[in-house]
Amino acid sequence: MGPHDGWLLTDLFRALGRQRGRDPVADAEEPQGSPLDQLLAACEVLMSDVGEASMRAVAARALSAYDELDNAGKLAFFTHITTTYGVDADQVRAAFHQWEHARNTGFQGEEELVRLFDVVEPTRQQLLRRMNHAPDATLALVGMRADLRGLMRHHPQLRPLDHDFHHLLTSWFNRGFLRMEEVTWDAPEELHHHLLHYEKVHPMAGRAELRRRLQPEDRRVYAFFHPATGDVPLIFVEVALVRSMPSSIAPLLERGPALSPSDADTAALYSINNALDGLAGVSFGSFLIKQVIEQVGEQLPHLEQFVTLSPIPGFRSWLTEQAEREAQDEQAADLRLLARELNTVEGPADLGAEDVERIRSRLLPALTRYIAVARRDDGRPLDPVARFHLGNGATAWRLNWPANSSPEAWRQSYGAMINYRYEPEKLERQHEDFVRRRTVALGGPLRDAFPNAPASYPHGASTTPDNERGTPPMAPFTTIYRSFAEQAERQPDKTLFELPDGQSITYRETAQTARRIAARLVADGVIPGDRVAMQVEKSPEAVALYLATLQIGGVLLPLNTAYTGAEMEYFIGDAQPRVLVCSPDRRADHAHREGDGLVVETLGVLRDGTLLDGDDHHEEVYDASADDPASILYTSGTTGRSKGAVLTHGNLASNCRTLLEAWQYTADDRLIHALPIFHIHGLFVAVNMTLTAGASLHFLPRFAPETIIDLLPRATVLMGVPTFYTRLLKNDRLTPESCASMRLFVSGSAPLLASDHEAFEARTGHAILERYGMTETGMNTTNPYDGGPRKPGTVGTPLPGIEIRVVDRETGEALPDGEVGIIEVRGPNVFAGYWQMPEKTASEFREDGFFVTGDLGRIDEDGYLSIVGRDKDLVISGGYNIYPKEIEDLLNAHPRVLESAVIGVPHPDFGETVMAVVVPAPGRQPEGGELLDFIADDLARFKHPRAVRVVETLPRNVMGKVQKAELRKRYADLFTDVDA
Burial of 953 (0-12, 13-18, 19+ CB in 10 A): exposed
Topology (CATH level 3) of domain 703-770? Rossmann fold (3.40.50)
What b/e string do you get for 498-523 counting C-beta neighbours within 10 Å, with b at 16 or more?
beeeeeebbbebbbebbbbbbbbbbe
Measured CA to CA, the distance from residue 780 to residue 685 in angstroms comes to 12
Report pLDDT digits (tens) over 259-303.
999 999 999 999 888 777 788 777 666 677 888 888 898 899 999
Spatial distance between the Cα atoms of 435 and 430, rounded to a whole number of angstroms: 9
Provide the CATH number for the domain formed by 797-870 in this structure: 2.30.38.10
Is residue 529 within 8 Å of residue 505, measured between CB atoms? no
311-463 and 175-308 share a CATH fold: yes
List, run by run, the mean pLDDT of 10-residue segments along the chain (980 residues): 49 49 43 80 86 82 92 93 87 82 72 77 88 87 91 88 86 70 90 85 86 91 84 88 93 87 93 81 72 89 93 91 67 80 84 87 90 83 90 92 90 94 87 80 82 40 31 58 94 96 96 97 94 96 98 95 87 93 93 88 94 92 91 69 90 94 94 94 96 96 94 96 90 94 91 84 94 94 91 91 88 88 92 89 88 89 84 77 81 90 88 92 90 91 92 71 82 76
| pLDDT at residue 649 in the model | 94
- Mapping DSSP to helix (H, G, I), strand (E, B) and coil, where does residue 164 land? helix
The sign of the torsion formed by the CA atoms of 478, 479, 480, 482 equals negative
Q: Cis link prior to 476 (omega < 30° from 0)?
A: no
Domain covering 875-970, topology: GMP Synthetase; Chain A, domain 3 (3.30.300)
Report the interhelical angle of 159-172 vs 71-84 (nearest 10°): 90
Q: Kindly indicate whether the domain formed by 175-308 is annotated with CATH number 3.40.630.180.
A: yes
396 near 386, Cβ under 8 Å?
yes
pLDDT at 51: 74
Instruction: For residues 370 and 313, give the distance between their C-alpha atoms in angstroms, rounded to a whole number.
Output: 11
Answer whether 364's CB lies under 8 Å from 421's CB: no
CA neighbours within 13 Å on the CB side: how many for 836? 12
Amino acid identity for residue 285 in this structure: G
* Residue 182 burial (10 A CB sphere; 0-12, 13-18, 19+): middle
Q: Are 266 and 242 in contact (CB under 8 A)?
A: yes
What pLDDT shows up at residue 432? 79
Each domain of the chain, given as residue ranges in start order, spans 6-86+122-172, 175-308, 311-463, 480-702, 703-770, 797-870, 875-970
State pLDDT tens for residues 794-809: 999 999 989 999 998 7
Cα–Cα distance for residue pair 230/613, rounded to 1 Å = 29
The pairing of beta strand 235-242 with beta strand 219-225: antiparallel
Could you list the beta-strand ranges (E) of 753-879: 769-774, 778-782, 797-798, 803-807, 821-826, 833-834, 851-859, 865-870, 875-877
What type of residue is 603? L
**Cα–Cα distance between 342 and 115 in angstroms, integer?**
55
Q: What angle do CA 416, 417, 422 make, to 5 degrees?
A: 160
Per DSSP, which regions of 721-789 are E strands?
A: 744-747, 769-774, 778-782
**Coil, strand or helix at 444:** helix
Residue 825's pLDDT is what?
95
What is the CB-side half-sphere exposure of residue 782 using CA atoms within 13 A?
25
Q: Who's near 38: CB < 8 A, 6+ residues apart?
A: 30, 31, 32, 61, 65
The CATH superfamily label for domain 311-463 reads Malonyl-CoA decarboxylase, catalytic domain (3.40.630.150)
312 to each of 200, 280, 292, 360, 665, how far by Cα in Å?
Answer: 14, 17, 22, 16, 40
Q: CATH fold of 6-86+122-172, please?
A: Butyryl-CoA Dehydrogenase, subunit A; domain 3 (1.20.140)
Number of Cβ within a 10 Å radius of residue 171:
14
The rounded distance, in Å, linking the Cα atoms of 541 and 533 is 15
The CA R_g of the chain, rounded to the nearest whole Å, is: 32
| CATH annotation of 480-702 | 3.40.50.12780
Q: Quick one: which of 853, 865, 778 has its CA closest to 809?
A: 853
Alpha helix (H) ranges present in 275-400? 288-299, 315-323, 330-343, 353-372, 384-391
Phi, psi of 560 (to 5 degrees): -60, 135
Residue 74: per-residue pLDDT: 94
- Measured distance CA(126)–CA(81) in Å, rounded: 11
Instruction: Compute CA 298 distance to the chain's CA centroid, rounded to the nearest angstrom.
Output: 27
The C-alpha atoms of residue 264 and residue 837 are separated, in whole angstroms, by 61
For residues 195 and 193, what is the distance between their CA atoms, to the nearest angstrom?
5
Which residues sit opposite 398 in a β-bridge?
Answer: 419
Q: In this predicted structure, what is the pLDDT of residue 978?
A: 63
Q: Which amino acid is at 77?
A: F
